[in-house]
Amino acid sequence: MHFDVAALYKAIPALFWGATVTLRVTVLSIVIGLLIGIVAGLARVWPNTFLRTVASAYIELVRGTPLLVQIFLVYFGLPALGLNLDPFVAGIIAMGVNSGAYVGEIVRGGIESIAQGQMEAALSLGMTWWQAMYYVILPQAFVRILPPLGNEFIALLKDSSLVSTIAIAELTRTGQIIITRTFKSFEIWSGVALFYFVMTYAISRVVKYSEKRLRYSE
Amino acid sequence: MSEWIIQVQNLHKYFGKHHVLKDINLNVAFGEVVAIIGASGSGKSTLLRCLNGLEPIQAGEIIVDGVAVNGKTTDLNRLRQSIGMIFQSFNLFPHMTVLENIVLAPQKVKKIPRKEAEAIALNLLGKVGLRDKAYSYPSQLSGGQKQRVAIARSLAMNPKVMMFDEPTSALDPETVNDVLDVMKELAREGMTMIVVTHEMGFAREVSNRVIYLDDGKIVEEGTPEEIFYHPKNPRTRSFLSKVINV
């Protein structure tokens, strides 16, 4: 077997640049996903039936269709409605909306894992549903939400390779481009994989660390 | 101002098709201590939960402190400030210290300044004998201590009536008395109390009135003397003979 280390070495600056694009896409998608997901998750446990139904429909629709199709729908589909989006913007919107559904389920699960008695005790003290959520339920739920949220971030980072299909020069796309020039498939894909791994491992460490810091004895 | 803090009229409660409370009529006067006794599943806890609006009711009327609990325009959050509720499972907030547990509602609901709320909290902790636990977390307390903190937390809202839902049922036997002592002290001070309990000794000793609930109905009510020594209804008699070892 021949592994052309020099070819990989030469590709590192370009791959590194690709990785920063991947990070940007991922971080922005996470932010959008978190915002949507927190709202969707709260709506799912809200006393109001209408909001619950809307949130459920959104979550079912998004989880029931492939992310790749969602990306195509936003990038190639929306222009039919007169909405021409830059690939980067289309990419983070599709990924953010997609992630929001999963985050929503994570948030709902976390909230529902907190014993019903906590809400009842807070309400009995005269707190509003919101106050009870904010001061009593969410701080406890957050500790339980963190690990699955970390998994979601990692999944999202890896799934961001799908936006390579709409010509965003992120890590995967950069790898492809280099290979069309150098034909060093094995070396470059190994390098791409390594870059992904370093980033996912970093996320997983950060999540582990915050988990430890936030843990209180229950 | 009526003399009644709580008025219940023709209350019916269903869980689905299951008729849990059947035509309950009950008035509680200010300063009264009412014990509600009965077998598990007789509807005692459900009745209590209806009184502060934790359970919706299907028919009848509940008026607490002059306000209809199930009225469409009722500000339930406001009404609940005057109804203290103690749960079997304490429901302390595990992510907060004892002191934070107590000051949370006064601070956020009543907008009492932190310093003042803390002074009130420490004072109440002293009253339940747990001043030294102010900075402990609930997980570091015994069951009896947790329940006493829960009582202090409720009292911090300065309620007009305190409701206890089997407050000692989840406790180790050796800590039951600490909680009962706090409750006795409250009763002595004139607090209006409704206590769902299996502690017949407490009901007999502390309450002014005992209500026996069976299968969702008030079967018999009267003074502790009447209920425990001269029960009229055969079902009351049969229940008491099972729970009191004379």
CB of A60 within 8 Å of any CB in chain B? Answer: no
Min distance B71 CA to chain A CA atoms (Å): 17
CB-CB under 8 Å, B91 with A118: yes
User: Measured between beta carbons, which residues in chain A are less than 8 angstroms from residue B93?
Assistant: 118, 121-122, 136, 140
**Residues of chain B with pLDDT > 90: what percent?**
92
Min distance B77 CA to chain A CA atoms (Å): 5
CB of A11 within 8 Å of any CB in chain B? Answer: no
User: Measured between beta carbons, which residues in chain A are less than 8 angstroms from residue B78?
Assistant: 126
The ipTM assigned to this model is 0.94
Q: Could you tell me which residues of chain B have a Cβ less than 8 Å from any Cβ in chain A?
A: 52, 54, 77-78, 80-81, 83-85, 87, 89, 91-95, 104-105, 108-110, 137, 139-140, 150, 153-154, 157
CB of A120 within 8 Å of any CB in chain B? Answer: yes
User: Measured between beta carbons, which residues in chain B are less than 8 angstroms from residue A113?
Assistant: none
Q: Determine the pLDDT at residue A216.
A: 58
3-state secondary structure of B9: strand
Contacts of A20-25 with CB under 8 Å at 24 or more apart are: A21/A168, A21/A169, A21/A170, A21/A171, A21/A174, A22/A157, A22/A160, A22/A161, A22/A170, A22/A171, A22/A172, A22/A195, A22/A196, A22/A199, A23/A157, A23/A199, A25/A88, A25/A91, A25/A92, A25/A95, A25/A160, A25/A163, A25/A168, A25/A170
Q: Which of A117, A118, A127 sits opposite B105 (nearest CB)?
A: A127
CB of A185 within 8 Å of any CB in chain B? Answer: no
Tens digit of pLDDT at every position of chain A (218 positions) = 688 999 899 999 999 999 999 999 999 999 999 999 999 999 999 888 999 999 999 999 999 999 999 999 999 999 999 999 999 999 999 999 999 999 999 999 999 999 999 999 999 999 999 999 999 999 999 989 999 999 999 999 999 999 999 989 999 999 999 999 999 999 999 999 999 999 999 999 998 888 888 775 44
- Is pLDDT of B114 > 80? yes
Q: Which chain B residue has its CA at the smallest distance from A214's CA? A: B95
